[in-house]
Amino acid sequence: MLVIAVSQTFVLRGSVPNLVYPLLGAAMFVIGLSLFVHGLKTGIFPLGGLMAHQLTAPEFIRRPLRRRH
């Protein structure tokens, strides 16, 4: 956002038209990204930790593989 404002002001020598829309879009982006990361932390990350714990458990590693006939 800062890069757009600086380049618009100094390079193109103009003001940012409709400044409300880029600010609103940036705010919506930050809110959406934070909700997405929160969903990952509450949903998928605990599942991955549980799988890692189960796959590295000694009783899982020492168990022989079953052969199919």
Q: For the chain, which residues make up each domain, given as ranges?
A: 20-62
pTM greater than the 0.85 cutoff: no
Within 8 A by CB and 6+ apart from 17, the residues are none
For residues 1 and 29, the answer to whether their CB atoms sit within 8 Å is no
For residues 22 and 16, the answer to whether their CB atoms sit within 8 Å is yes
CA angle in degrees (0–180, nearest 5) for 43-30-17: 155
Interval 4-58: pLDDT, tens: 777 777 777 777 678 788 889 999 999 999 999 999 999 898 898 888 888 888 8
Within 8 A by CB and 6+ apart from 33, the residues are none
CA distance 4 to 18: 13
